[in-house]
Copies of this chain bind each other. A is one copy, B any other.
Amino acid sequence: MALPEGAAAHEFRSQCSIARTMEILGDRWTLLIVRDLMWHGKHTFQELQTSAERMPTNQLSQRLKLLVDWGLVDKQVYQERPVRYRYVLTEQGRALEPVLLQIMQWGHKALGGGLYDPKAGRTVAPARNPASVER
C-alpha cells in the first residue's frame, strides 16, 4: 500500500519517533482538531471552527489539508448539490487516542485542565482556575 502524498515526499529531520511526530502534530492546533474529530462529534469545517478555541479558518483549512496528506484524516463528500464535506479520522488518526489520553491526564494534573471520559462522553472533572493550580 502506498504512502499518502504528504508523507511519501517528506524527509524527516531525524530518526526519532518523537521528533517525527512533532513535525506533524507539533503546533497548537492540530491535536485539537484530532480531539474534536475523535471525541466531540465534530466533522464539518463549520463544526470544527466553532469549537471552543476558535482557531482561525485559514489555519483550520491548512491543518486539515496536512492531516489528509498525512493520512490521518479522510475527507468525504456527504452531500452533493451543494457539495458538503465531512472529515473523518482514519485508522492512523484513531491510533492517536492513547496519546490524547496521556496528554489530557498530564494537563489535568499539572495545569488544572478538565478531564473528559470518552466512554461516558462527558467531562468527569471540571477545569480548575489557573490561579488555583497547585503543585
Q: Chain A interface: which size bin?
A: 35 or more
A85 contact set on B, CB distance < 8 A:
none
A99 contact set on B, CB distance < 8 A:
99, 102-103, 106
CB atoms of A16 and B71 under 8 A apart: no
In the complex with contacts A15-B114, A17-B115, A53-B19, A135-B3 CB distance below 8 A: yes
**Shortest 9 CB-CB contacts between residues of A and residues of B:** A17-B113, A17-B107, A15-B127, A21-B107, A26-B28, A20-B111, A20-B113, A17-B104, A99-B102
Show 30 residue pairs from A and B whose CB-CB distance is below 8 angstroms, ordered by the A residue: A3-B131, A3-B133, A8-B130, A10-B130, A11-B130, A12-B130, A16-B32, A16-B52, A16-B113, A16-B114, A17-B107, A17-B113, A17-B114, A17-B116, A18-B103, A18-B107, A20-B107, A21-B111, A21-B113, A22-B27, A22-B103, A24-B111, A26-B29, A26-B31, A71-B135, A72-B110, A95-B106, A95-B109, A99-B99, A101-B102
